[in-house]
A and B are shown apart, each in its own frame.
Chain A
Amino acid sequence: MAKIKTHVEESDVLIIGGGMAGTGATFEARHWGRDLKIVCVEKANIDRSGAVAQGLYAINCYMGMQWNENQPEDHVRYARNDLMGMVREDLGYDMARHVDSTVHMFDEWGLPMMKNEKTGRYLREGKWQIMIHGESYKPIVAEAAKKSADKIF
């Protein structure tokens, strides 16, 4: 075992783990807290860390509220059935109502999404999933985190 050094860092917002959620949270935190000191800690390089390290060729949940494909209520029902009733419906609802704007944001950042050329809708491979070219899903979001955080370890 190598020697472990202790590093002390003061921060206003400390994000533990720089996977998909952590890097996203870093970006969002900077939007609301412009003057705060935001620090993200991650054991590996955030360009390739967490479950999306090798890329992910689908976004597993997209409502498509703009085309009335699904509404948050549909997602709550799906999750409730899937988990046999053991769900926090308010949390499921909250996730579902925010997911579309996040997906649109990734589209804006350059994540290649597969679209129907005629309708402009995202191509689906299931009721909730949409298809993307996600080799660089993580590096794109990591880029956003790097621009936002004061420090990344």
Chain B
Amino acid sequence: MNISRRYFLKSGGVAMIGMAALPSFLQRAVAATAGLNKKKMVVLFQRGAMDGLNVVVPFGEPNYYHMRPTIAIPQPKQGGLDAALDLDGFFGLHPSLEPLMPLFRGNQLAIVQAVGSPDPSRSHFDAQDFMESGTPGLKSTEDGWLNRAMQTIPEEKSSPFRAVAFGPYLPRTLQGISPAIAIPDLKQFKMYGPQQTVEGGFEAMYAQTVDHAMRGVGNETFEAVDQLKKINPDTYQPENGAQYPKGRFGQSLEEIAELFKADVGLEVAFLDSGGWDHHVNEGGVQGQLSNLLKDLGQGIAAFHQDMGDRMGDVVFVSMSEFGRTAHENGNRGTDHGHANCMFVLGGGIKGGRVYTRWPGLSEEQLNQGRDLAVTTDYRSVLGEIISKHLGDRDLKTVFPGFANDPRQFLGLVKA
């Protein structure tokens, strides 16, 4: 059985009337055909510009301590959790990310430092938009890079869960002609009222509406709701003793693991986290940034643990619109800067290394005399994951206008 509901929906109005009573074997068929044994990707966007220099700390760089008299993370100490955690003798992880250390030592976690978008904008809004569209500097791009990556496989075969954003909106990253949905809360993702009447009614209305923008949205929603009924999200239990942190970030990661395991055809998952814009009282080992990092570290570690062996098919990657000034500002915080760091995690990743072309932190090495310079284009990191992990996709379509030369890849995905 190789026919999806979407196919039926598209085949015309006559079929529509009886749609509410569509036999469940057809619904099951969708799940059976989609997404099994496929490579998967999880994308995290950290909104607000994370201070990468206090996350992946260049403790071997004396300038770092001169520039950040009150917020710097001290050099690693044997067994000390009030100092950077040594990664490679030059870089250290913020101590609040301690849960990530086993993943780094186990060679599943790679870190890229001094990476980012080449566009000089210091506007959160523009820089996020550029990073998500995948075309820095070009405002007219209508779709997101991850949506374009999904466009290479024909729509008819796909599951409604193929591309999912966990949150209230579909982010720019996933917008485009390839179907993608946003799920604010998996447990609440159902229809109120008498099921067949309500779903049938709305489904038919939205399938046939002349309102083009509304039409596609409706179809995907009802398909997803139907399939989700079988999963019964209320009963999910994480495996291997994984404990997700409380809050939206942990919940989203848990839901991603749940959908991956349910084999509903989820291929790319997107989530975001906010609150990284620390102009005032950013803190060092303790404080505002540290609190966010605890959530980040515990969440990623729990996801990794919960997924277990399945991590072999998954790559997790994080990004933030730009970094922050190398100097701390007058309020024990940092202002908008340039380069940042990215985390790349998965069974197929050559981890245990900090990948960087380190630009240095002396005044003349800084971007515009104030920020860490970008020496690796974030599109090259994503391009490598897309081509080597997700399969041989057309990178010129995913990142138009960027020569994504495989020879320039950092080599963080196993061949």
A and B found bound together = no
- Interfacial residues, chain A to chain B (CB-CB below 8 A): none
Interface residues of B (CB under 8 A from A): none
